[in-house]
């Protein structure tokens, strides 16, 4: 990829073809002190107040700088590298991290020792990359203070508060409003599919865990949906097509959100899995379509619950797990309350927290 000149035309060559860059696109990016605030990188002018028929009067390339004189009298020097960077329509950093699909054979559950300044050191960058690769990471020896989870979350980014509050306690309580607050086994599920938007990342911090059972389970929705696509294409198609309603009712709120069980992005790549079969309501569709949908839901449920895909491990006091709620399903095995207590605290953050931190660390350490 490179920038070329043809008289007063500025061209972008992507290796196979060369196309003119709109002069206004370049004019919007003038970075002289007069037009751009260096610190915030925000414009000091409003581009919508300019005429759109801006033209390039003259241009030259010197090493890695493109110098342009526009016909409105403005002159600017732009770094060629920066222009090329912008030609990638994807988020370069996040999209460049290759997601590793995994199943029950996953060898390394990634665990990292917590240190006080962890959020500002180089290692945090590597941890976040691992998080995007596998969909989860575990920090060890995080102080088991009450509500430390909120402090932790706010140092990565910002807690995503919900109607449950800033954080939630996972322990058995009388008259629970959710099965999470019992000692029953929880089948793999994604959290809060009824919210709009669904919280992106769940943090779960183990404060005490004296019981034998109560193992945490994780399943990679990315791996399962890819396998479903390979082996049962019709099921995959119907689950990426049919929108169902997810619903949650509490005494002062009714939450609803419609979505496919497998949500794809504009490139037909996995964007989000949703699975919580106690809360989903499919609309009345043609009988054949519903028939296919129900068989597909059973099949994906069988796969999510299969030992082939699930990993199980015990969270011990001080462990703090960060998991991608758009990609992984989580659950737990049953436990016996007579053996002792099991107490975890959880909260949510959104992708802007992890992405923002990752870009900040990249800039800070010039990676």
| Positions that interact with Fe ion (CB under 5 A) | 191
Which residue's CB is nearer to Fe ion, number 26 or number 203? 203
**Do residues 87 and 93 lie in contact, with contact meaning Cβ atoms separated by under 8 Å?**
no
Q: For the chain, what is the radius of gyration of the CA atoms?
A: 25
What's the min distance (Å) between Cβ of 217 and Fe ion? Answer: 11
What's the min distance (Å) between Cβ of 21 and Fe ion? Answer: 48
Query: Can you say how many angstroms the Cα of residue 32 is from the centroid of all Cα atoms in its chain?
Result: 35
Asked, as a colleague might, if the bond just before 270 is cis with ω within 30 of 0, I would say no
Q: How far apart are the first and last CA of the chain?
A: 21
Query: What letters, b where the CB count within 10 A reaches 16 and e where it falls short, cover 67-78?
Result: ebbbeeebebeb
Which residue's CB is nearer to Fe ion, number 66 or number 170? 170
Q: Compute CA distances 341 → 16, 87, 147, 171, 207, whole Å.
A: 64, 54, 18, 8, 10
Which residue's CB is nearer to Fe ion, number 191 or number 319? 191
Ranked by CB distance to Fe ion, the top (closest) residue is 191
- What DSSP line would sit under 65-119, residue for residue? EEEEEETTS-EEEEEHHHHHHHT--S-HHHHTSPPPP--TT-----EEE--TTGG
What's the min distance (Å) between Cβ of 222 and Fe ion? Answer: 18
Which residue's CB is nearer to Fe ion, number 191 or number 220? 191
Which residue's CB is nearer to Fe ion, number 3 or number 200? 200
Which residue's CB is nearer to Fe ion, number 240 or number 257? 257
What's the min distance (Å) between Cβ of 243 and Fe ion? Answer: 22
Which residue's CB is nearer to Fe ion, number 236 or number 326? 326
Instruction: Give the length of the chain.
Output: 367
**Residue with token string 């000149």:** 5
What's the min distance (Å) between Cβ of 321 and Fe ion? Answer: 12
What's the min distance (Å) between Cβ of 226 and Fe ion? Answer: 23
What's the min distance (Å) between Cβ of 192 and Fe ion? Answer: 8
Q: Characterize the bridge pairing of strands 280-281 and 75-79.
A: unpaired
- Which candidate, 300, 308, 294, 232, places its Cα nearest to that of 262? 300
């Amino acid at each position: 990829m490179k920038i070329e000149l043809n008289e007063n035309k500025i061209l972008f060559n992507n290796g196979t073809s060369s196309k003119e860059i709109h002069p206004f696109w370049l004019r919007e990016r003038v970075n002289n002190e007069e037009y751009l605030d260096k610190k915030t990188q925000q414009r000091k002018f409003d581009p919508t107040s300019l005429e759109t028929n801006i033209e390039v009067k003259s241009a030259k390339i010197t090493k890695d700088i493109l110098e342009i004189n526009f016909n409105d009298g403005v002159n600017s020097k732009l770094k060629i590298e920066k222009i090329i960077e912008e030609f990638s329509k994807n988020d370069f950093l996040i999209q460049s991290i290759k997601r590793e699909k995994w199943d029950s054979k996953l060898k390394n559950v990634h665990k990292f020792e917590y240190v006080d300044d962890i959020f500002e050191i180089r290692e945090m960058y590597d941890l976040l990359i691992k998080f995007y690769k596998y969909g989860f990471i575990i920090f060890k020896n995080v102080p088991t203070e009450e509500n430390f989870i909120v402090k932790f979350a706010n140092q990565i980014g910002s807690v995503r508060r919900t109607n449950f509050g800033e954080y939630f306690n996972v322990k058995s309580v009388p008259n629970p409003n959710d099965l999470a607050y019992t000692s029953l086994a929880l089948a793999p599920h994604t959290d809060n599919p009824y919210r709009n938007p669904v919280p992106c990342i769940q943090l779960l911090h183990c404060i005490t865990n004296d019981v034998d059972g109560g193992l945490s389970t994780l399943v990679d929705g990315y791996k399962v949906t890819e396998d479903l696509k390979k082996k049962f294409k019709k099921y995959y198609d119907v689950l990426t097509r049919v929108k169902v309603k997810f619903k949650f009712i509490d005494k002062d709120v009714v939450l609803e959100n419609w979505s496919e069980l497998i949500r794809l992005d504009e490139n037909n790549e996995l964007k989000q899995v949703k699975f919580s079969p106690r809360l989903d309501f499919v609309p009345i569709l043609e009988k054949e379509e519903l028939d296919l949908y129900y068989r597909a839901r059973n099949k994906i449920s069988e796969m999510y619950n299969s030992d082939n895909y699930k990993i199980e491990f015990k969270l011990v006091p001080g462990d703090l797990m960060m998991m991608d709620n758009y990609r992984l399903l989580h659950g737990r095995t049953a436990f016996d309350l007579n053996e002792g207590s099991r107490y975890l605290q959880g909260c949510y953050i959104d992708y802007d927290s992890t992405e923002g931190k990752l870009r900040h660390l990249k800039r800070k350490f010039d990676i």
